[in-house]
Structure 1
Amino acid sequence: MKRLLLTLALSAGLAAPALAMEPLNQEKHINDSLRAGRIGDVIRKTCPTISARMFVVWSKVEDLKQYALDKGYKRDEVEAFLKSRTEKNRLKAEADAYLKAAGAVEGDPQSYCAVGEAEIAKGTLVGSLLRSSK
């Protein structure tokens, strides 16, 4: 029995390096969170009756950085990802597509308000970042 446990333990140890971390731009929670932040930012800048809940936004950003570090990503890797023009453009395009699919129409602030109000009402991550003055 001890021999079996030792063999399993060694096998698990040898297999561990094969379980490499996925690139940051493929980590679902991180990307979903950053996309939600971008969507919320566009809504608050476009809709005159919606603003950001800045303390919540700041808190979620800090939580997200800690999440990445806890998963084993290096601080410089996280910073480089967050500053990458390529990644910013990718997330911007994804956020724009989400807003369009949700009914936001460029040049129509009220359509962004409607999307924002719906996100708040549904209690989504985007909605948790926003406050309505209605």
Structure 2
Amino acid sequence: MPYLSAVLFSVTLLLGLPAGAASAKPPLRDVPEIADGIFTIVVANEIRRKCDDISGRLLKGIAQIRRLKARANDLGYSDGEIRALLDSKAEKARMIDRGRAYMAKAGLDYDTPGDLCRLGRLEIKNNSAIGALLRAK
């Protein structure tokens, strides 16, 4: 997913995250509600960027980013720990692999023209977490 770096950078900018210290808590990537929320935003954004017939619900996405940041802070994670997750090359690679696997479960392939848009339409139809961040034009 070529735009993943730009999306994660945008998420970082929107959160306005300063650097901070690490702690002995489990890695933030292992906190499902945070990792899944970031994944949802990244996939929806990739669909929005690549599909002419689908737009994003940007305000809803921004609100979700803010909720994720607040929840991570509530769980004791610093802004620096959040930034480290979003900036990690290893996490970006994991996110790409997760996206490809997610599409494969739906019988779709990221590299097949149109399959990302098909995924978007399925997500909208199913009113999934990803679909809630999208709108068919």
Give distance in 2, aligned partners of 1:128 and 1:74.
28
- Counterpart of 2:113, as a letter, is D
CA–CA separation in structure 2 for the residues paired with 1:27 and 1:117? 28
1:36 aligns with 2:36: no
- Cα distance in 2 for residues equivalent to 1:49 and 1:38: 18
Whether 1:116 aligns to 2:120 is yes
Task: Name the amino acid aligned to 1:89.
Answer: A
Deviation of the 1:125 alpha carbon: 0.9
Please list, as runs of the form range in 1=range in 2, the aligned pairs for 1:88-107 lying within 5 A after superposition. 88-105=92-109, 106-107=111-112
1:1-134 equivalences in 2 (<5 Å): 21-105=25-109, 106-109=111-114, 111-133=115-137
User: 2:64 and 2:70 mapped to 1: Cα distance?
Assistant: 10
What count of residue pairs does the alignment treat as equivalent?
Answer: 113
1:131 to partner: Cα distance: 0.9
Match in the other structure for 2:3? none
Query: Do the aligned partners of 1:37 and 1:126 also contact (CA within 8 Å) in 2?
Result: yes
List gaps (5 residues or longer) in structure 2.
1-23
Q: CA deviation at 1:97?
A: 1.6
Q: Name the Cα RMSD after superposition.
A: 1.5
What TM-score do the two structures reach when normalised by structure 1? 0.76
- Shift of the alpha carbon at 1:119? 0.8
* Alpha-carbon distance in structure 2 between the residues aligned to 1:46 and 1:23: 31
* CA positional deviation for 1:28: 0.5
**Partners of 1:96 and 1:45 in 2: CA distance:** 17
The SS at the match of 2:130 is: helix
The structure with more helix, counted as a fraction of residues: 1
What CA deviation, in whole Å up to 9, does each residue of 1:83-119 have, x standing for no partner? 111111111210122123223332422x322211111
* Greater radius of gyration (CA): 1
Unaligned ranges ≥5, structure 1? 1-19
Q: Which runs of 4+ in 1 moved over 3 A?
A: none
